[in-house]
Structure 1
């Protein structure tokens, strides 16, 4: 299976030189652009369009540290986008209880239309979101060159938390927009 890393000739690693990736993306975009195939057959033009689409998707995934982390985890067999993802089912109970407490506090702030309280919670959750990404990155780095199940689990739990925190922050933003509108 050709991965996004293969598209750019990169090793499967969390750390990516983004400026070098951007430069290579621009060069490959010029080479693969469908307009360069104007005189080619319909099949060749379609293939060029497909290669460009694959290049764009690979670039979008690899340049973003969060997308890259989820993608690397998927390459290690854990797809957190699936409803039946095992990592989502076995999140630590303490975290799930904490999620419920945070959610209830946010619901209370929203019911009281208390933007300052919601924003204060969001500040704390943003710090925890960054910490979860850092933990996932550390686990993914430790995975490079190995298939250590403990690191896969650590990364999947961290990214599960990151996903929750991201949704929480999106809800706070939507609440703020609603109140300020």
Structure 2
């Protein structure tokens, strides 16, 4: 557990700097020092990437992200500050919540892409709702098949054929994620036209996710009718 610092020592509110004011080691995260264990309350809210000491890059290493979450969480978890002064307990709670929130964004391919596109000045989902051009005819066909299945009674042949459509949409979602990765890696410059392409690819990922959720609901209804 981190003990209170003696009077006159640096205040734990300067976590945005690159070095620890206590031990002078490089800070890997703005929330704490992994060398001496001191907690910080950043002067400004870190971005999800800054929270984990990572460069802004859609193509991050998921295993490295997991390792950093584990390492940093062990230093800031409130359970380790149960007997610490109230201010340090509060900082530990805030830091844990911030790390978990950043992890939720970075560990989700679609949410991470949405954040990166916005951070680089690309269009939002409200500003650019278009799907990739080659995707449109497939969307019409899939929509018709989903609607036909929804209107068919459980146990019908139409409902029974949903597995094939689920496989198709899952494969296309994987392809769309690969295309999204190609549009964002290496990171585009601000206002780069690739950001609009990335938004279109992300729109496709979201569409396929919603369609798969609808199909899963229909499959569950089909299974319960047997």
Tell me, yes or no, whether TM beats 0.5.
yes
Segments of 5+ residues of structure 2 without an aligned counterpart are: 1-44
Partners of 1:131 and 1:157 in 2: CA distance: 13
Aligned length in residues: 175
**Which has the higher relative contact order, 1 or 2, with Cα contacts under 8 A spaced 6 or more apart?**
1
Runs ≥4 residues deviating over 6 A: none
**2:58 counterpart of 1:14:** yes
Partners of 1:6 and 1:121 in 2: CA distance: 40
Q: Match of 2:38? A: none
TM-score relative to the length of structure 2: 0.69
The CA deviation at 1:13 is 0.6
Contact 1:14 1:140 in 2 (8 A): yes
The CA deviation at 1:107 is 1.2
Q: Match of 1:106? A: 146
Partners of 2:216 and 2:90 in 1: CA distance: 41
TM-score relative to the length of structure 1: 0.85
Segments of 5+ residues of structure 1 without an aligned counterpart are: none
Q: 1:145 to 1:154 in 2, by over 3 A?
A: closer
**2:192 counterpart of 1:152:** no
Q: Match of 2:91? A: 47
Structure richer in helix, relative to its length: 1
The CA deviation at 1:154 is 0.6
Q: For residues 79-127 of structure 1, what are the alpha-carbon distances to aligned partners after superposition, in whole Å with 9 as ceiling and x for unaligned?
A: 43xxxx1111x44677456434321221112323423322212221112
Partners of 1:54 and 1:23 in 2: CA distance: 16
Within 5 Å, which residues of 2 pair with 1:63-142?
63-77=107-121, 78-80=123-125, 85-88=126-129, 90-91=130-131, 95-96=135-136, 98-112=138-152, 113=156, 114-142=158-186
Partners of 1:38 and 1:92 in 2: CA distance: 52
Partners of 1:31 and 1:18 in 2: CA distance: 20
Contact 2:132 2:204 in 1 (8 A): no
